Structure 1
Amino acid sequence: MPWMLLTVAGLLEIAFALGMKWSQGFTRPLPGGLTALAGLASIYLLSLALRSLPVGTAYAVWTGIGAVGTALAGVLFMGESATLARLACMAAIVGGVAGLRLVQN
């Protein structure tokens, strides 16, 4: 269950990052409010996952999901470049996060 909470928290972190762009610096009320809710929900779910997961592993997974997910969303939906170097860096993040999950005790 804590890993599921952490995964949802990471997905909400992506929504938060994309929402900041959508809200145009929190100048648009509805997108700004939804962005704030996504950020708060993400942190809350992370805090629940931290009840039973090691903080270093959980935080790295949370930020990894957010970083890679947001970068992929930028490529897929916002016209950002998908160079081999960028994709390799995203793969390195995924590999590092997966490694932390595998060696978590």
Structure 2
Amino acid sequence: MKFRENIPELSKIEIEAILKTPDEYQNMCLEMEEILSLMRDQNKTFNRLYLDLLFEHFYYQDIFDGTASTTEITFAQNSKKRLLKNILRRNQKTT
């Protein structure tokens, strides 16, 4: 049975009424948990992209200025490759 069928005036409902209907409450909690999980994933992706862009900015700035040595450039390129491998490996485990 659907929650809207039980209480037609959904906009005037109080939380106590929601708690009295366990199936709908459980579904609502599961949906909220899914939303929070997606938000956490989005936050992780944003933080990873932010740091990646910041790294690339300073990397290219050092190259254009001529202040980066070949050792630093090689280290940065190898770090980027390792990071991408770890991300791919993590994504394969989750799918």
TM above 0.5:
no
Q: Which has the larger radius of gyration?
A: 2
Q: Sort the TM-score into its range (normalised by shorter chain).
A: 0.3 to 0.5
Q: Give TM-score scaled by structure 2 length.
A: 0.39
